[in-house]
Amino acid sequence: MPKSVAIIGGGPAGLMAAEHLAGKGHAVTVYDAMPTVGRKFLLAGKSGLNITHAEDYARFVTRYGAANSRLRPVLDLMTPEAIRVWAAGLGTETFIGSSGRVFPKAMKASPLLRAWLKRLENLGVTILTRHRWTGFDADALLFDTSDGPKHVTADATLLALGGASWPKLGSDAAWVPLLEAEGIDITPLRPANCGFDCDFSASFDTRFSGEPIKSVKATSAAGTTQGEFVISKGGIEGSLIYAHSAALRDALNRDGHTTLILDLAPGRTVERLSTDLARQDRKASFSTRLKKATGLDGVKLTLLREVVPEVSSLSPDHLASRIKTLPLPVKRPRPIAEAISTAGGVSLDAIDDDFMLKVQPGTFVAGEMLDWEAPTGGYLLTACFATGIAAANGIDRWLQRSPG
């Protein structure tokens, strides 16, 4: 007789685990609090689903920070190339963008999710929505449903409830106190791949909110990267900021302050800038001289003035230095509900090599509710898929060992 598995959470990790467990002959039921599953997955694909990344695999597996060593063998279970093959099997062809990111050719998540849910249905997976998990009752799982409280028993359970970003889509971290009550070690959840507040003036904020700043380099403890970001309401956000968000967040937590160093003219050396600035006619306005010598105008010029109010009085050497190393203070991360993802979660020391909770035999954990983080670019989704498979394999081994 098939063993029963309850999977709580219908995101990428839970659905991937469901596919593998059903493929091994287990009776799988997925429970989700929302009216439909995969809501954050669909949001991620709203502007083109970045499903994985095609960079050299040896480099790819180093993108997970402190969790690198633990996730390294797990990622082998669902490599970027394997994800592309899996997607193709669901009728979704993919392509590699100029940045190395991998997208469906249709640039949508919905066709892939529909095909995936159809495959799960054909495998016999049951999906029950509007089932909010509320904890354990001895050997039973408790749910609030539209029909009232429900008790569910299963031979094994997988928790794949996500982090705390985008709570309106289901990842609200309501599971944290439930697991802490069971004595499970939880690293506090923190925003990851997030924007930051800055103390911009009201005039700058009003004029430039939503404006992109293109072709800049940013430097933090995370290193130096080139790209673009956006002036948001009261701060900064965008892909270049997300690449530095963990370093900025951790520095703020540790020191109470930090700065992001910006190079507003990455194509020119400080010596070239200084020489070109010195050649300008001093009778011309500062903005005219700056544009002719450096090409800076608009939002870049105003940001320079915002951060260095005395910029127009600087010597060519000092001005060139500020353009190449503009210290932008950041005050705090944006709220966790606005973040793309979260750091923290169930401690990796709280699970065994099969992703089973050490203090809760038969209960496994996968996906973003575990304590790991990664940059945007397909790394997050890849690890969710991979940990879902790792937990599914662990559940299968557990069920094979269990009597009955």
- For 145, phi then psi, to 5°, come to -130, 170
**What is the enclosing helix (H) or strand (E) of 31?**
strand 27-31
Burial of 290 (0-12, 13-18, 19+ CB in 10 A): buried
Calpha distance 99→173 (Å, rounded): 32
Helices (H), 24-107: 39-44, 57-60, 68-75, 80-89
For residues 117-124, average pLDDT: 98
Helix axis angle, 316-324 relative to 270-278, nearest 10°?
140
How much of the chain exceeds pLDDT 90, in percent? 90
| Largest Cα–Cα separation, the chain | 90
* CATH for 4-191+337-401, options being 3.50.50.60, 3.40.50.1820, 3.40.50.970, 3.90.190.20: 3.50.50.60
Reported as a single tens digit per residue, the pLDDT across 82-97 is 999 999 999 999 999 9
For residues 4-9, average pLDDT: 98
Could you tell me the residue ranges of all domains in the chain? 4-191+337-401, 196-333
Reported as a single tens digit per residue, the pLDDT across 205-239 is 999 999 999 999 999 999 999 999 999 989 999 99
Reported as a single tens digit per residue, the pLDDT across 168-216 is 989 999 999 999 999 999 999 999 999 999 999 999 999 999 999 999 9
DSSP 311-340: GGGS-HHHHHHHHHSEEEEE-EEPPGGGSS
Confidence label for 281 from pLDDT (cuts 50, 70 and 90) = confident
The answer to whether 9 and 175 are in contact (CB under 8 A) is no
Burial of 316 (0-12, 13-18, 19+ CB in 10 A): middle
Residue 404's pLDDT is what? 60
pLDDT at 403 > cutoff 80: no
